[in-house]
């Protein structure tokens, strides 16, 4: 089936260049596309009038001229154009600048990967192999700035693009419909944000070489502000990925939870260290998710019984379990469960309506000397405090402010919950902010790993402020001197006790 194509020509004060740019679109491409939609962003010159005149002179029925009632900005103009393309049922939308800076002559080649279903986005790059941007008139300072900025953005975002800053883009409308591009900036760094979104959504980005052309067109970009905004966008994405900040434009519904054992200071690593040291024969894991921690405990000789309310996740975790129970822990009948050497609540308690009740009921599941392990996020973490200082308390899919969290705990209220549920805390360990997720070079064995060590030491200095999570090991509270005999229902007297 032939794909319907629209070329979105974004123009602002391009009266001198517009006609020549449209003339450079190959005749074969004019025949191939269904519409050329020119969006004049409320120009202060005669761009709109020139476009109308061009249409009538050339008698181009496929050319649609539109003028925004107010200036939407470079990003805002793109948003309106993509909305138009999606609403009209096009399959492919091409972004072409009206000032002729990007070669329309190459449109036929750039369209091929999209027409052949080999890409979700085609990116015309001036910096890839086989190009010479300096020969095309790119100022040296812009060349160096592009290289440096792209390298930094690649390192932060986790991409390997030859550049982030070309405005020559072609998109699958189906792919555009999958990402929240309407949440992006109306400014020039819209292009950076949409690239990050395609990367996060694991959509296919194909880079193809294009020539560089710099003429006498007027540049409306404030270079320093643009660079700062691009870096800000990359860092916001990185903080979003590490769950230290929530940004809805990067929330693309990928897996909610990740395995944290590779971080030597993470909650998963601490739980596994306890498993290795204590070697419990039987473990009940409440909330297995897809079984990343379950499999590690099983590989260390534990017979693991798992409880998971999500059937799809449970089906994945089942391979590691001696027994898998698909149920909601808050409605599960504990009387049908066995006794265990350890019960693990890894990032679970904060999701419960009545965590104290669940912990009290869990007491009957422990063998003599059995332990309960609990990991909880620290709502008093410095990032949350700073957010509150600036009036932000934004929920997200994962992390301390996971939108499914029903309860929030500080170190003090965590201990209070445990003691009120009939347990004593035998040990408690803070975990640091997951710095390697923000800066991979701080990971184990990497050149900047000492920074993560310092990050961890900060939690030891002031755990209530710097801890990302707390991992507590708990045991049943020792029996008091006077107790109720549960068998005969009579008061038992101990030496020295007055009755």
Determine contact, residues 481/499, Cβ cutoff 8 Å: no
Q: Averaging pLDDT over each range in 174-178, 392-396, 442-446, which range is the top one?
A: 174-178
Distance CA 175, CA 155 (A): 25
Q: Are 4 and 90 in contact (CB under 8 A)?
A: yes
Q: Average pLDDT for residues 110-115, to the nearest whole number?
A: 96
> Any alpha helices (H) in 138-189, and if so which ranges?
140-157, 173-176
How high does pLDDT run on average in the chain? 89
The model's pTM is: 0.64
Give the model confidence (pLDDT) of 334-377 as tens digits: 998 999 999 999 999 999 999 999 999 999 999 999 999 999 99
**Taking a C-beta distance cutoff of 8 angstroms, is the pair 190, 258 a contact?**
no
Domain boundaries defined on the chain = 5-250, 267-476
pLDDT score at 259: 53
pLDDT, position 220 = 66
Least confident of 8-22, 205-219, 331-345: 205-219
Residue that has been written with the tokens 């969290």 in this structure: 405
Query: So what CATH class is 267-476?
Result: alpha beta
State how far the Cα of 384 lies from the Cα of 138, in Å rounded to an integer: 44
Mean pLDDT computed over 230-238: 93
Whether 160 shows a pLDDT value over 50: the answer reads: yes
- Mean pLDDT for 452-459 is 92
pLDDT at 492: 38
Q: 5-250 and 267-476: same fold?
A: no
Task: Tell me which CATH homologous superfamily contains domain 5-250.
Answer: Spore Coat Polysaccharide Biosynthesis Protein SpsA; Chain A (3.90.550.10)
Q: What is the crossing angle of helices 73-87 and 190-200, to 10°?
A: 50
Distance separating alpha carbons of residues 32 and 53, to the nearest angstrom: 23
């Amino acid at each position: 089936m032939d794909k319907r194509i629209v070329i979105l020509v974004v123009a602002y004060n391009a009266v001198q260049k517009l006609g020549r740019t449209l003339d450079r679109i190959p005749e074969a491409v004019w025949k191939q596309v269904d519409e050329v939609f020119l969006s004049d962003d409320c120009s202060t010159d005669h761009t709109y009038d020139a476009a109308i005149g061009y249409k009538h002179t050339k008698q181009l029925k496929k050319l649609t001229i539109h003028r925004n009632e107010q200036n939407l900005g470079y990003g805002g103009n793109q948003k309106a154009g993509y909305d138009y393309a999606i609403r009209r049922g096009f399959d492919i939308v091409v972004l072409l600048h009206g000032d002729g800076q990007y070669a329309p002559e190459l449109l036929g080649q750039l369209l091929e990967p999209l027409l052949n279903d080999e890409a979700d986005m085609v990116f015309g790059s001036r910096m890839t192999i086989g190009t010479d941007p300096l020969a095309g008139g790119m100022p040296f300072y812009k060349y160096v700035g592009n290289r440096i900025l792209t390298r930094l953005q690649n390192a932060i975002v986790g991409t390997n693009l030859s550049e982030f800053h070309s405005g020559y883009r072609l998109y699958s409308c189906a792919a555009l419909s999958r990402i929240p591009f309407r949440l992006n900036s109306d400014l020039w760094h819209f292009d950076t944000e949409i690239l990050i979104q395609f990367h996060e959504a694991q959509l296919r980005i194909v880079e193809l070489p294009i020539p560089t052309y710099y003429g006498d067109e007027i540049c409306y970009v404030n270079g320093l502000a643009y660079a700062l905004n691009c870096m800000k966008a990359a860092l916001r994405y990185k903080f979003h990925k590490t769950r230290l900040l929530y940004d809805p434009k990067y929330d693309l519904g990928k897996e909610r939870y990740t395995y944290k054992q590779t971080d030597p200071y993470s909650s998963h690593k601490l739980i596994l260290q306890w498993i290795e040291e204590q070697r419990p024969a039987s473990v009940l894991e409440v909330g297995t998710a897809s079984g990343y921690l379950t499999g590690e405990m099983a590989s260390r000789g534990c017979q693991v019984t798992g409880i998971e309310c999500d059937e799809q996740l449970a089906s994945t975790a089942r391979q590691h379990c001696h027994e898998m129970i698909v149920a909601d822990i808050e409605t599960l009948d504990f009387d049908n469960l066995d006794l265990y050497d350890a019960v693990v609540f890894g990032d679970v308690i904060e999701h419960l309506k009545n965590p104290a009740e669940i912990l009290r009921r869990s007491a009957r599941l422990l063998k003599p000397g059995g332990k309960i392990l609990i990991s909880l996020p620290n709502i008093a973490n410095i990032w949350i405090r700073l957010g509150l200082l600036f009036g932000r308390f934004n929920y997200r899919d994962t992390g301390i402010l996971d939108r499914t969290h029903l309860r929030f705990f500080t170190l003090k209220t965590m201990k209070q919950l445990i003691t009120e549920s009939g347990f004593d805390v035998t040990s408690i360990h803070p975990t640091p902010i997951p710095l390697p997720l923000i800066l991979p070079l701080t990971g184990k064995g990497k050149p900047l790993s000492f920074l993560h060590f310092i990050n961890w030491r900060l939690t030891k200095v002031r755990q209530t402020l710097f801890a990302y999570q707390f991992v507590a090991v708990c045991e049943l509270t020792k029996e008091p001197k006077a107790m109720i005999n549960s068998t005969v229902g009579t008061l038992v007297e101990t030496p020295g006790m007055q009755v």
